[in-house]
Amino acid sequence: MTYTDLKAPFWQTAPLQGGTLGKCARCAVRTTGLCGALRDSELADIQPYMTTVERHADTVLFDENDPSDFVYNLVSGAARSFKLLPDGRRQITGFLRPGDFLGILENDQYAFSADLITDSRLCRFRRNDFEKLVDHFPALQKSLLSGAFREVANAHERFLMLGRKTAQEKVAGFLMSLRPACARGEDEAAVELFMSRGDIADYLGLTIETISRELTKLDRRGLITFQGDRRHLMLDVPGLEDLLSS
């Protein structure tokens, strides 16, 4: 089955028959994000439409206003989305981790730029193919809609964070957002700062010096504990929750 086949109606050119799961069976993000909404047989049917690519850190996936030709699923590594202001300043709009999709809600052009923070592996879909797959699989449609609602909720929380919270509250809230889903509800959580202090500053609208100062304050208060290289830390979840609710 080729991309050319999809020029004809999707369900006529390639009747889906539940192929073998293949490399997706060993994928670390098989059960997360949009892929987690699909049965094994459905995911096997999608494989002919995706290409696995590996890219080095700082590779630009796409620039703002580029034609939105591709949709990406981050399999390993980390990425960031951002917009450049007219004066050259950068506003990071999001950090992406394994299981996250990039460029999924775009129109004809990407609304933001995206590049890789670390060496990464991604699954890439042509947009036209991906849209037809979404039309074909109701589970994908439902998961995509749920994701859109979460994006709206996250946007509202981000507006509140940037507009009304103190620098310490911004940093504490950001650290809490990095908790893995499996750690939700636990009193302690291990997180990795896979981004630089400059990235955090550009995301929260603060200076690098302010980020470093607030991390030091949280450390001295025992609300966070750095591990070794200062990229890994433990969070005192109840303590941080008290800080954010006070």
Alpha-carbon dihedral sign for residues 232, 185, 169, 203 = positive
Domain harbouring 29, CATH code: 2.60.120.10
Rounded Cα distance, 145 and 111, in Å: 19
The token pair that represents 29 in the structure block: 């993000």
> Are 170 and 139 within one domain?
no
> Are 152 and 169 within one domain?
no
Please give the residue range of the domain that contains residue 197: 165-245
Q: What is the distance, to the nearest Å, from the Cα of residue 69 to the centroid of all Cα atoms in its chain?
A: 19
Task: Output the tens digit of pLDDT for each of the chain's 246 residues.
Answer: 333 333 333 333 343 444 456 678 778 888 887 888 888 888 888 888 999 999 999 999 999 999 999 999 999 999 999 999 999 999 999 999 998 989 887 788 999 999 999 999 999 999 999 999 988 888 888 888 777 777 777 776 776 667 678 999 999 999 999 987 555 556 678 999 999 999 999 999 999 999 999 999 999 999 999 988 889 999 999 999 999 987
Parallel/antiparallel/unpaired status of strands 113-116 and 224-227: unpaired
Which of 156, 182, 207 is the C-terminal boundary of a domain?
156
> Are 131 and 213 within one domain?
no
CA dihedral 207, 209, 211, 215 (to 10 degrees): -170
| pLDDT of the residue at 21 | 63
> Are 151 and 170 within one domain?
no
Which of 156, 181, 215 is the C-terminal boundary of a domain?
156
Q: State the helix-helix crossing angle for 167-177 and 208-220, rounded to 10 degrees.
A: 80
